[in-house]
């Protein structure tokens, strides 16, 4: 039967016991309102690790002023039911007061190119909050493997760098994006869309598919691909572009030309809801030549 833990010290004891028994612990950090994308991470952890832990915590320090902290969907009982159905061994559901008690003053501050563009440009301070909460979770749960989804590509790069730079003893695994039938990347925020907005949201994915088709046809100019994507997205009413970026997938350096291991990423608002998506180009005919 799945165990539910709310106290940090209890979670630390649980993890110590697991490690003491020689078992491997896989950890899936979430902000809740779980969906099949989250469960794909759980299923991967289930295959690879002896014990699977899932956290549910809407992290206030990664939200900026005027963002959707109050609107972010929450349903703990639903999350518990879904987690238990998927064989999660333990859910860690700390309170904000438990994670950030009075007097809390220590943060992890990622710097450099990896936080300068994409979501880092339009959401200053966001990755400071992400890195801080993930560092805390890693210290609390001590997992052998932590799982993230490719939808949050920049987040994954930031966390990989943090784990490497701070010599943390955890493997970071990034799993493929899980999509709806019309291509929309699964996200807890999709539940905030009205029916009309939901019909427009796949415009992000369509623009990415257009980019993929252009690359497959031999177009490698980042400017031309970006322009084609922008034109396509502007055909969708009420889809307000935040960014369209073409960068190196490892270090997130902006590129003039698509090459091997390129990340093409988009962000846009549909109504009040901000959505992100991306594709990764493995190789091009040019890089294989």
Beta bridge partners of 145: 26, 171
Collect all residues with Cβ–Cβ distance below 8 Å to 174 and sequence separation of at least 6.
Answer: 147, 148, 149, 150, 153, 156, 160
**Which of 153, 154, 201, 149 shows the shortest CA–CA distance to 180?**
201
Cα 165 to Cα 144, 145, 160, 172, 210: the distances in Å are 17, 17, 9, 13, 36
Angle subtended by helix axes 222-234 and 203-216, to nearest 10: 150
Catalytic residue, candidates 38, 86, 126, 144: 38
CA-based nearest residue to 84, from 2, 140, 183:
2
Q: Based on the residue annotation, tell me whether 38 is a catalytic residue of this protein.
A: yes
H helices, E strands: number in the chain: 12, 9
List the catalytic residues.
38
């Amino acid at each position: 039967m799945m165990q539910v833990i709310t106290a940090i010290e209890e979670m630390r004891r649980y993890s110590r016991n697991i490690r003491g028994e020689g078992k491997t612990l896989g950890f899936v950090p979430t902000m809740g309102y779980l969906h099949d994308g989250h469960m794909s991470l759980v299923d991967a952890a289930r295959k690879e690790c002896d014990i699977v832990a899932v956290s549910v915590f809407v992290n206030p320090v990664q939200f900026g002023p005027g963002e959707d902290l109050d609107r972010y969907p929450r349903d703990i009982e639903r999350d518990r039911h879904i987690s238990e159905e998927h064989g999660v061994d333990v859910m860690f559901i700390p309170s904000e007061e438990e994670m950030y008690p009075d007097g809390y003053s220590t943060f992890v501050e990622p710097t450099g190119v990896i936080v300068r563009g994409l979501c880092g440009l339009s959401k200053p301070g966001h990755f400071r909050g992400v890195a801080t909460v993930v560092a805390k979770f890693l210290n609390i749960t001590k997992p052998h493997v932590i799982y993230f989804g490719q939808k949050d590509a920049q987040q994954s790069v930031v966390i990989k760098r943090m784990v490497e730079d701070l010599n943390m003893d955890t493997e970071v695994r990034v799993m493929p994006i899980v999509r709806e039938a019309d291509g929309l990347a699964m996200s807890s925020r999709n539940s905030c869309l009205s029916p009309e907005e939901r019909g427009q949201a796949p415009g992000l994915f369509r623009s990415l598919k257009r980019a993929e088709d252009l690359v497959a046809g031999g177009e490698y100019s980042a400017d031309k691909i970006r322009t084609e994507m922008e034109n396509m997205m502007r055909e969708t009413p009420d889809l307000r572009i935040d960014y369209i970026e073409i960068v190196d997938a490892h270090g997130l350096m902006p590129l003039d030309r698509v090459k091997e291991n390129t990340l093409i990423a988009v962000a846009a608002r549909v109504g009040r809801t901000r959505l992100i998506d991306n594709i990764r180009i493995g190789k091009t005919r040019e890089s294989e030549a």
